[in-house]
Structure 1
């Protein structure tokens, strides 16, 4: 895959949107235990990425946030790395 491959940003955006959906659902929409399991699974898989791929993901998330017109999604994109444990909380 090349650095300009559109697949990586598209997949990163989908992962972020899925986690955002899970976080925003009420207990009556999605079972809270299932939400926690899914979010822990996503975070765990991302942490298992080799360091160079994790760095690439972090750059893709930064790039997505910079061009995101929706302020709420931009904020979530910016907070996603620390929420998933990819970086230390600031």
Structure 2
């Protein structure tokens, strides 16, 4: 049950991040989009290293399962999120 919940939540975050990253300027102010992506990164950085690795593993699975939709975005985003070795304060 917990694994299914984690997967669903990670998919939701990835979908939101993709929206913020790719939406047209007429839909969302670019500064607001960047703030939201930074907020997601900040929250992600607060996870324990083990939890971050678990989330990254789910993201890699999502990217492998649907490369056309998620592949390019997650390849970059995983690198950015994985760059933090320690939680940010």
TM range (shorter): 0.7 to 0.9
**Contact 2:63 2:74 (C-alpha < 8 Å) held by counterparts:** yes
Look up the match of 1:86: 82
Equivalent residue pairs, number: 84
Q: Tell me which protein shows more helix as a share of its residues.
A: 2
Q: TM-score, normalised by structure 1?
A: 0.80
* C-alpha separation in 2, matches of 1:65 and 1:36: 22
Instruction: Return the match for 1:75 from 59, 72, 77.
Output: 72
Spell out structure 1 runs of 4+ moving beyond 4 A: none
Aligned to 2:59: 61
Alignment partners' CA distance in 2, 1:87 and 1:65: 18
TM-score (norm: length of structure 2): 0.81
